[in-house]
Amino acid sequence: MHNEEIEIITSDHLLSDVDHPFKVFAGPGAGKTFWLINNIKNILKNSTRLFSASKISCITYTNVAVEEIQTRLDMTGDRVEVSTIHSFLYNCLVKPYVNLLKYEDGSYLVNIEQLDGHDDHIPSVGRILGNKQMSATVLKNRIDHKELQGVLSSLDWYLNGDDLILQPRNDWQRKKYKKLVTAGFFNAYKAMFWDDGTIHHEDVLFFSHEILKNHPLIREFIAAKYPYILIDEFQDTHPVQTKILKWISEAGAIIGVIGDPAQSIFKFQGASRADFLEFKLPGQKNYAIKYNRRSTRNIVNILNHIRGTDEVVQECYREIDGSEVCIIVNKSVEGIIEKFNSERARLGMTGDSCIVTRRNDSVVKLKNCAGNCNMSIWSDFSEADSKRQRFIEVILSAQEYADNSMHETAVKQVMKVFKTDKEGALKDPFTACSFEIDNLSKRSMAVSLLEYLTSNRDENMTKNVLAFYNDLIGFFNGIGVALKRVGAGGFKTFAQAANVNELVLSLKLGEEKYSNIRTIHKSKGAEFQSILVYFEDNKDIQHLLNPDAKHEEDDCRLYYVALSRAEDYLCIATDELSQEIIDALAKLNLKMIG
């Protein structure tokens, strides 16, 4: 990248030439969404490549971002299709063309009659143990069931020449289970889901890749329908996605990518910082937006210190120093939160605020303001009754999405409750239905269930899980569906002791819109007047003192993303620091507050 020309632009810059691929470097607060919206409108106005049946595809990373872009596009939205990468690939490739993929005996790779969207991968050792041949492999290799669960949860597709290989993300797991990878053990595991018509998010990439590899003419169909494909947050793109986009580019589509290598934080999902830096198409033009319009100068100075010298060294657009960046050291989580809020009040910071931290269990601890919360409640639930656990998790996740005004996401989530088997019957924990199940009836039931959940949310939060589940039995009876009743056993014991509120506090939602305590990954794309970054491991403070944003691992970039969410007030907190570390932080103009 260093040998290529990069034009410095501002967020109100309109492309004069809309018929060349481009790459835009845009740091935090650069106004890239504003730039993206205006240049979509610019392309609609000036392009000679768009016809009545063609559209611009705008791809972004989260459903929250999709909703924001759709809202800001306003009346131009009917000419622009906004989606996540997985939704784009599923709707344009997998859904219409997966029937082209067959085994050597002519049978379909996927049960196309049962296929209905793509789901999270919930690892199932039980499926493997229920298969005689695979169970024998587990026994022969003396594989611990709990360890196998961890391996299954980290499975992903990786490029291997022109093919894709299914293997664990972790290097040590790859080495240990290399023979099983080579023997196709994990492919056979996936095939059991596909035979039921279930594909997972990562499988969308596999099927899209295979369709375009084996049927290259489809690349031209996609390029004709979407002569422009613009991808936001490209630094978080999977290498398989990159290859797919290059194929579509070769077929004639104009590809534009926007991102920031210093905010690449999804390595655990296969994303690579290098993919963004090395992305290059024939005739590509490169741009960089230099200003940070979000943060004060004191905050921008810290951010520039962390990212070092790269393609984007930001300038503060607001031209005000703002409040000093502060440090709180306190062994009590409650004490940290109390000090943060009192300092905000002292400074007159009456706007929105958020506490961000690295780990989900720290989020739970912060939400409860104590270290004695039940962080294992969902795993305890799964051990008691894994099918009911998944059922309740989907329902409560949908409820919380709706409570966050993410209504379409909530509907998609609650639709997962109504999965059917090969005979068209609702799956466990349902036992009967008084009418024929089709997609229309599923959506109707989903909307009714969502209305019930949102209307009764406050009351439900006070109940134990058993009372909540029994109420669900009553609700489903009212719409002609029978839910399995509760007998003596593990579920009843768990459900009597656990509260709905505990489950909700410990939920790991895929996306959050309004939560004021969240993980760093879920804070991506958000901004707040005040931010508290909680370092649960005080050793991570070294990422501020000796930053390496170009490192292969994401650690330093994670904290860069966290700190960059702040507009006016930024505070860092941990349990204890040595005086040497405190003095070193002071040299960065960070202020210690008691």
User: Which residues define the annotated binding site?
Assistant: 26-33
Per DSSP, 363 falls in state H
C-alpha dist (Å) from residue 543 to 106, 309, 547, 559? 54, 16, 5, 8
CB atoms within 10 A of CB 37: 20
Peptide linkage before 547 cis (omega within 30 of 0): no
Residue 430: which of 357, 481, 363, 366 has the closest Cα? 481
Q: How wide is the angle at C-alpha 149 spanned by C-alphas 145 and 152, nearest 5°?
A: 130
Show the DSSP H helices in 427-554 as ranges. Answer: 439-455, 457-460, 465-478, 490-497, 500-505, 520-523, 542-545
C-alpha dist (Å) from residue 15 to 23, 36, 45? 12, 10, 12
Read off the tokens for 282: 């024939």
Amino acid residing at 148: L
24 forms beta bridges with 258, 287
Question: Which position has the token pair 């639709």?
Answer: 415
Tell me how far apart the alpha carbons of residues 324 and 583 are, in angstroms, rounded to a whole number: 16
424-449 burial code (b ≥16 CB/10 A, e <16): eebeebbeebeeebeeebbeebbeeb
State the SS3 of 273-295.
HHHHHHCCCCCCEEEEECEECCC
C-alpha dist (Å) from residue 321 to 163, 296, 350, 465? 52, 6, 19, 51
Residue numbers belonging to the annotated binding site for ATP = 26-33
Q: What phi, psi does 7 have (nearest 5°)?
A: -90, 125
Sequence length of the chain is: 594
430 forms beta bridges with 483
Residue 39: which of 236, 327, 280, 257 has the closest Cα? 257
Question: Which position has the token pair 């005000």?
Answer: 320
Read off the tokens for 179: 């023979």
Residue 199: which of 115, 93, 95, 97 has the closest Cα? 115
Q: Determine how β-strand 430-433 pairs with β-strand 481-483.
A: antiparallel
What torsion do the CA atoms of 355, 361, 364, 370 make, to the nearest 10 degrees? -90
Tell me how far apart the alpha carbons of residues 158 and 168 are, in angstroms, rounded to a whole number: 9
Q: How far is CA 477 from the centre of its chain?
A: 35
